[in-house]
């Protein structure tokens, strides 16, 4: 199934139908628990005493340190950003670029434990998260800490509906209201929108645009329970990878970083490229 023609995506916690043609594909070389590749990028952690203390406490909480030798990898310069003009007739599924970068995105937020933030922070992995409002509202401090650690927080609606079945008014409310929540916890406007289940309509595109979002961003790669599924035959330069914050997050992040390293790609922050 060609990307962009499907409007049905993942079922929340399963492999999305948007890559249905490859939903059973796994990458046998990427073994569960395989070596972890972290990369140092231009993704910087803000400096302040409180944040440094938070990072220190989280790092201490790491029971199994990840390899540090891989941290001396290449930097991603923000000046290398590829100009991408949003085509409002359809979402972005990957970035058309020859640059050796891959983008890691993490959705929802069912399992919110500090360990996930410390893993991301200690490996200096650039990550964009798309929590729903229902995952943010009960634990705003968690998301404020995520933002303080340099994790980019963007818009994934208030309550994770299949937007195709909602009215224009309700779609717009789901998106605009979540942008208010993102601003409250991240201190900045959301610029990216991701439709739940990868399900969207032309009304969704209109609603996201009218709420001031700059890009509607889906994915071309899914990592789920340690299995990786591709819509383009493998990780490619500019691939956008979908993970979820749930109990398998550490394994999924390890698999993602190992696959990126195997493909010779460096994780980069999606919002450095979509600005």
Which residues contribute to the site for Zn ion (CB under 5 A)? 107-108, 196
Give me the least distance between CB of 108 and Zn ion, in Å please: 4
Q: Which is nearer to Zn ion, 3 or 51 (CB)?
A: 3
Q: Which is nearer to Zn ion, 132 or 266 (CB)?
A: 132
**Beta carbons within 10 angstroms of residue 187's beta carbon:** 11
Q: Which is nearer to Zn ion, 94 or 193 (CB)?
A: 193
79 φ/ψ angles, rounded to the nearest 5 degrees: -70, -10
Give strand ranges (E) for the chain.
101-108, 127-131, 152-153, 192-193, 215-216, 221-224, 227-230, 239-244, 266-268
Give me the least distance between CB of 196 and Zn ion, in Å please: 5
Sign, CA torsion 267/268/269/275: negative
Give me the least distance between CB of 38 and Zn ion, in Å please: 25
Give me the least distance between CB of 163 and Zn ion, in Å please: 11
Q: Which is nearer to Zn ion, 107 or 252 (CB)?
A: 107
Rounded CA-CA distance 174/169 in Å is 9
**Beta carbons within 10 angstroms of residue 64's beta carbon:** 8
By Cβ distance, which residue is nearest to Zn ion?
107
Which residues on adjacent β-strands are paired with residue 222? 229, 242
Which residues on adjacent β-strands are paired with residue 130? 107
Give me the least distance between CB of 156 and Zn ion, in Å please: 6
Rounded CA-CA distance 164/160 in Å is 12
Rounded CA-CA distance 117/243 in Å is 14
Give me the least distance between CB of 243 and Zn ion, in Å please: 11
Q: Which is nearer to Zn ion, 38 or 196 (CB)?
A: 196
Q: Which is nearer to Zn ion, 157 or 191 (CB)?
A: 157
DSSP code, position 82: P
Q: Which is nearer to Zn ion, 172 or 244 (CB)?
A: 244
Rounded CA-CA distance 45/88 in Å is 32
Give me the least distance between CB of 194 and Zn ion, in Å please: 7
Structure tokens at 88: 């409002």
């Amino acid at each position: 199934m060609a990307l962009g023609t499907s409007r049905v995506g993942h079922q929340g916690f399963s492999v999305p139908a948007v890559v249905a043609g490859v939903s059973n594909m796994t990458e046998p070389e990427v073994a569960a628990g395989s070596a972890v590749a972290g990369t140092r990028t231009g993704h910087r952690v803000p400096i302040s005493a409180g944040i440094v203390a938070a990072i220190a406490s989280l790092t201490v909480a790491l029971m199994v340190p990840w390899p540090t030798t891989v941290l001396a990898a290449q930097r991603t310069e923000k000046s290398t950003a590829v100009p991408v003009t949003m085509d409002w007739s359809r979402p972005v599924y990957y970035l058309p670029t020859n640059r050796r970068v891959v983008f890691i995105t993490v959705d929802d937020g069912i399992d919110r434990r500090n360990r996930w933030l410390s893993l991301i922070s200690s490996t200096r992995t650039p990550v964009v998260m798309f929590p729903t409002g229902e995952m943010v509202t009960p634990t705003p401090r968690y998301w404020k800490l995520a933002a303080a650690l340099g994790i980019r927080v963007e818009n994934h609606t208030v309550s994770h509906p299949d937007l195709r079945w909602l009215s224009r008014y309700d779609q717009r409310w789901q998106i605009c209201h979540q942008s208010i929540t993102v601003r409250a916890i991240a201190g900045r406007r959301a610029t990216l929108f991701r439709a739940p289940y990868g399900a969207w309509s032309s009304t969704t595109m209109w609603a996201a645009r009218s709420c001031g979002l700059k890009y509607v961003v889906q994915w071309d790669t899914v990592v789920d329970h340690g299995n990786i599924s591709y819509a383009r035959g493998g990780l490619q330069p500019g691939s956008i990878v979908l993970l979820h914050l749930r109990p398998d997050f550490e394994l999924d992040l390890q698999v993602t970083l190992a696959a990126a390293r195997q493909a010779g790609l460096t994780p980069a922050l999606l919002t450095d490229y979509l600005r």
